[in-house]
Structure 1
Amino acid sequence: MEQRREANVRSSYEVDEVYSDLYSTLSQVTSTTANDIEQLLFSFTWRTCFILLGATVGGLLFGYDTGVISGVLLSLKPQDISRSVITNFDKEIITSITCVGSFFGSALAIPMADKYGRKMTLAYCCIVFVLAALLMATSMTLTFLVFGRFIVGIAVGIAAQCVPVYMSEISPSNARGTILTLNSLAITGGQLISYIISFFFSSIDQSWRYLFGLSAIPALLFICLLDFIPESPRWLISFGSLTKAHESIKIIYPKATPRQIALKLKRLIIDINKMRRYQDVEEPLLRRSSCFFFRYNHSSNSLQLLEEPPTDPSNSEVFILPKNAGQRSTRRRIHRMEPRAKRALTVGCVLMFFQQITGFNAFMYYATIIFANLKVENPLIPAMAVAFTNFIFTFVALKLVDSVGRRSTLLCTVFIMIIGLLLSSVGFARTDTRLIITSLLIFVAAYASGMGAIPWSTVELLPLNRRSFGSGCISCVNWLTNAIVSMSYLSIMNRVGNEHTMMIFVFFAVLNWIFVYFFFPEVKGLSLEEIGKVFENGIDVHYVYRNYH
């Protein structure tokens, strides 16, 4: 066994030498940054905007189906679900069961995204959204409604895991933070839409059925437009589909030249294969009988898939990719994880834990109940103000993540979150409705500008061979923590009071700031492959500043 392991390591280093030679000898294309797509300004054409819009449908449904519960709880009558009374515990179950379903959905999405691809996984997810919408809208009992909420939770969990993975893999490094934040914008937009629809449907009898049923429309739209959305080129390359990967890159970068596309494809192939060095493979990577050969011809600016190496490579670039590399990688993904991937995954999971434990979704789910207890005439109006603030300040995150950076944004916004929570505690203690609303809006604005978006983008910290699994773990942490908070918030509020509940959230927000300061690295401007260097020896939080500033 040890001899075989040593042989595998030698083979791994031999592969690195081959790729090193490729980089040095094939310099005709790589000599200038003008041919590097990553260094060019990303073009938001109608086609790329359409792709991003389609990819964010999952986030939109995620936000709608989690935010709509606030309006549902306000309009739901006991007789609608064959009950004599709806207790706080019933409300907690109806709300939190979606988070439980999302936990299982995130775990289910891990093998689905690797086996069927990011694009098809999102398609299956939308089918589940449609089925769940029908189940919830036609529920006649509490049990049936809870089951429907569990099913929609599975779809939400799949979307929460797969959308960030897909968007990170189709984004250039200089716009990745912005594009990943579009998913958070879709989530907050979905929540805002759910509040607006709840407001306009509030006078209709059993309006909650319409609120649930409407969520099927965006899912059906995504399924109809599936053919226009490309698969992730990184996933295609990992499964040996070079020709499809080439076509996918052409769609994602419509203004790129053939030479730029060839360079992008070559770098992805080399980086993905070099990544296999960290896996415990049982056979050499390079065998002529099990390799693809791909050639870029300078004279004609053309790409060609070959069965054998070219006999005259004088004016060609040849790329080598083992067939079925992705399948071998998938079988070993869970059994072995390199230390740098473990560190990156830990950072992502802990930051996601803090995203939920600081209480934001408790306000989103139970906003109408909180304001109803404060004797507000129409609880949906301040709840809509909270959702609108969340949506608007997500644009701030959109602006800051790539210009200011993830780390600096979090350090500033988490501090403001602490101030907002402290003020809300004072407001609840004095029963000052204006102070409560103002402080909650401060908290929500700061949250949306940083913690609402950035934890979802931590999938970019993970290497390709762990991205689907790691994204699933991060998403599972989100939903497990979310379920705990949403399942206990009303009970804790009734037992210790709102002012003390806010102080519990303050405690976790302070821990959140400390964690970001010591353990969250800045990665703005780094390619997905270069991010791994940040975690090679511990967590180098100042890697970007030391090397590029």
Structure 2
Amino acid sequence: MEIESLETNQERETNAPEVWEEEEEDEAAKKDDGSTKFLKVFAVIAGWGSTFFGVDTSVIGGAALYVQPDLSISPLQWSWITSVPLLAACFGLGTSIPLCYHIGRKYVVLLAAVLYLAGATMSAAADSMVVLLVGRIILGLGMGLEAMVIPIYLAELVPKQHRGGHLNIFNSLQTFGGFIAAIIDGIFQNVSGGWRYMLGSGVIGPALQLVFALFIPESPRWYIQKGRVADAERSWKRIRKDMPKTRKEFLELKENVENEMKEAKGSMKVIHEILTIPRIRATFVIGALISLAQQWNGATAIAYYLPTLISQMGVSVKNSVYANIPIYFYNSCCTLPSFFLFDRFGRRPVLLITMPILIIGLIISGCSLQASTVASRSGGFFVGLALYYVGYQIGVSPLAWAINGEIYELHVRNWGMSWGAAILLGSAFSVSYTFTRQVRAFTKTGVFGLYAGFTLIFWFILIILMPETNARTLEDIRNIFDEGLVGLAKYNWSQTKAWVNTKLGKQKKEDTKESDELPNTSPLVIVQEKASAKEDEPALATIQQNA
């Protein structure tokens, strides 16, 4: 078998007599992670489905200003139109668990593209609220499949050194889709029946993915799960170079997957393990917390109602739609730093630093809505929104997908990703559907303050519980949770104390060094120096006489 040849090659490389060759190989391995050029193409194709999220979020906000009067839809009815895909996505997640196991990650991506294509077409052709609602439900089912499979798919194929950056592709392409949709809204808002073209633009992304996804490989992990080791090796070679380091990684992958499959249980036993084993339960708690934090800052609701919010500040309807274009362009740019920040500085520091920026942005935007003039309202709102997107798009937004894509053990990974995505999408539905009701109860300023308060609470909780998964294999990450949430909190506290002590220790060393270099000018030292000088005067006079 081909796997035997890999083992033989590995033994040959390991038993090489020249020590200097092994050292040179290790040095080269540090510089080369073993990824092929195709891996980068694969990551974009696999993550392309996330553009559908962004397109829908942006396009429905612009279309809202024209669909409601055209189809006689009330604001409360429209809250169903905007949010129902998120509710349908939760049901899509439920079907994604058996589908990912039985037909594989690749074909779930293809099925999601078909559902998106059908839903967007029906929405564009709708002649009543009911038809529009059904179309958006179908679209939401595809959204649920994509939300489940893409983060897992990417996490299983990319190297551990760059997993954070690659998982950010999901979030970056989502915001890029929003930017493209904002341009489409601006183009068609002056066309008769333009909202149909806006909603119909949602077919472009699924059509492209439906074609290109035919050429991407299946996950090697899934092949090994099914006992198809030769297929797993062929898939592996398409994304990783043939070198000792990658051969070793493949053999480790095979061993780890087979060991975890031996521990695999039926559905009821899996649920029992999730509830009773602290290590597994901790991963589900962390996944839920980061998903809730991503949505209960109001992100999806603000995106859905952004043109409406801008028009209510006194800006014209057309300018409200046009304003989406620079906003979404800026939003897309804010996702770029995450590509290197996660893998260079780690997930935990980036999240904990960016969340306060998000909170400040919400407070500024909310308070600016109380200003007396259109210029001051809109100016303050956009300044706050700019800070908000820095904190959101660099931190919690991509990390919610990244963390949920990498913390779960293999035999519960489908369950875990569905759990995280269901909470995320369910929260997005709750926040979006109730947004108009929240505004009526608390005013717009009060709602922004409410979101800031929720984010502050999650920030304090994540300071205690947020794990660091950077530069770890998916198999190594499970060791972080061995002692459950209590052990994780103790570990985070010990790491924080060590970091503080290190910083204080460096400062003390610097202070000591500076004090050694500077002359001591204390009064006692000056008196001692004068006394010493007086004692030395006779000796000095004798030396001068002899000279």
TM-score under structure 2 length normalisation: 0.81
Matched, 1:67 2:48: no
Taking the TM superposition and a 5 Å limit, the aligned residue runs for 1:376-415 are 376-377=315-316, 378-415=319-356
Output the amino acid matched with 1:116.
I
Q: Are 1:125 and 1:158, in contact at CA under 8 Å, matched by a contact in 2? A: yes
Which of the residues 398, 409, 427 maps onto 1:453? 398
Question: What residue in structure 2 maps to residue 345 of structure 1?
Answer: 284
Secondary structure class of the residue paired with 1:230: coil
Give 1:445 shift: 1.7
Asked if structure 1 preserves the Cα contact closer than 8 Å seen for 2:68 and 2:78, the reply is: no
Contact 1:97–1:483, Cα closer than 8 Å, also in 2:
yes
Which of 172, 178, 181 is the matching residue for 1:191? Answer: 178
> Which structure has greater helix proportion?
2
Task: Tell me by how many angstroms 1:87 deviates.
Answer: 1.8
Percent identity over paired residues = 25
- Change in Cα spacing, 1:270 to 1:331, as seen in structure 2 (3 Å) is farther
Q: CA deviation at 1:233?
A: 0.7
Which residue in the other structure is 1:490 paired with? 436
Q: What CA distance in whole angstroms lies between the structure 1 residues aligned with 2:66 and 2:166?
A: 36
Cα deviation 1:206-257 (Å, max 9, x = unaligned): 112112222222212222223320011111111111011001110011x333
How far apart in 2 are the matches of 1:537 and 1:207?
Answer: 57
Q: Is the 8 A contact 1:188 1:390 kept in 2?
A: yes
Deviations 1:8-54 (A, max 9, x none): xxxxxxxxxxxxxxx9xx86656869479995534665422221121
RMSD, matched Cα = 2.6
- The one-letter code of the counterpart of 1:275 is E
Relative to 1, partners in 2 of residues 1:39 and 1:512: Cα closer, same or farther, differing over 3 Å? farther
Q: 1:348 to 1:28 in 2, by over 3 A?
A: farther
Deviation at residue 332 of structure 1 after TM alignment: 5.1
Q: Aligned to 1:175, what secondary structure does the other structure show? A: helix
* 1:270 and 2:233 aligned: no
Q: 2:420 aligns with which of 458, 474, 487?
A: 474
- Show the 5 A alignment for 1:360-379: 360-377=299-316, 378-379=319-320
Q: Is contact 1:38–1:173 with CA below 8 Å preserved after alignment? A: no
Distance of 1:272 and 1:354 partners within structure 2 = 31
Could you say which residue in structure 2 is the equivalent of 1:179? Answer: 166
**Change over 3 Å in CA distance of 1:545–1:240 after alignment to 2:** farther
- Asked if the contact 1:249/1:261 (under 8 Å) is kept, the reply is no
In structure 2, do the counterparts of structure 1 residues 381 and 211 end up closer, same or farther at CA, with 3 Å as the change threshold? closer
Q: Does 1:47 align with 2:34?
A: no
For residues 94 and 115 of structure 1, what CA distance do their matches in structure 2 show?
A: 33
Greater Cα shift, 338-347 or 163-172: 338-347
For residue 156 of structure 1, what is the amino acid of its counterpart?
A: M
CA contact (8 A) 2:36 2:238 kept: no
**TM-score when scaled to structure 1?**
0.81
Which SS does the other structure have where 1:394 is aligned? coil
Offset of residue 198 of structure 1: 0.6
Residue 242 (structure 2) pairs with residue 256 (structure 1) = yes
Partner SS for 1:469: helix
Q: In the alignment, which of 79, 94, 105 is matched to residue 81 of structure 2?
A: 94
AA partner of residue 454 (structure 1): L
1:141 matched residue in structure 2 = 128
Cα shift readout 1:453-472 (whole Å, capped 9, x = no counterpart)? 00111120111111111101
CA distances 1:158-181 after superposition (whole Å, capped 9, x unpaired) = 101110000000011000000000
- Alpha-carbon distance in structure 2 between the residues aligned to 1:144 and 1:190: 24
- Segment of structure 1 superposing worse, 152-161 or 534-543: 534-543
Alpha-carbon separation, structure 2, partners of 1:530 and 1:60: 31
Deviation, 1:279, is 4.2
Q: Distance in 2 between matches of 1:38 and 1:423?
A: 48
C-alpha contact (below 8 Å) 1:62/1:160 kept by paired residues:
no
2:231 matched to which residue of 1?
244
Matched-pair contact (CA < 8 Å) for 2:36–2:239: no
Which residue number in structure 2 is paired with residue 113 of structure 1? Answer: 100
Native 8 Å contact 2:292 2:427 kept in 1: yes
Q: 1:163 to 1:457 in 2, by over 3 A?
A: same
**In structure 1, how many angstroms separate the alpha carbons of the residues matched to 2:273 and 2:401?**
24
Instruction: Give the conservation status (yes or no) of the 8 Å contact 1:177–1:524.
Output: yes
What secondary structure is seen at the aligned counterpart in 1 of 2:468? coil
How has the CA–CA distance of structure 1 residues 433 and 30 changed in structure 2, closer, same or farther, with 3 Å as cutoff? farther
In 2, Cα distance between equivalents of 1:525 and 1:36: 18
Matched residue SS, 2:473: coil
C-alpha displacement of 1:276: 4.1
Q: Which runs of 5+ in 2 are unaligned?
A: 1-6, 16-21, 503-547
Q: Is the 8 A contact 2:273 2:280 kept in 1?
A: no
Q: Select which of 191, 204, 208 maps to 1:221.
A: 208
Equivalent AA in structure 1 for residue 365 of structure 2: S
Q: Give the counterpart letter for 1:455 in structure 2.
A: A
Work out whether residues 231 and 248 of structure 1, in 8 Å CA contact, stay in contact via their aligned partners in 2: yes
Distance, in Å, in 1 between the alignment partners of 2:324 and 2:179 is 9
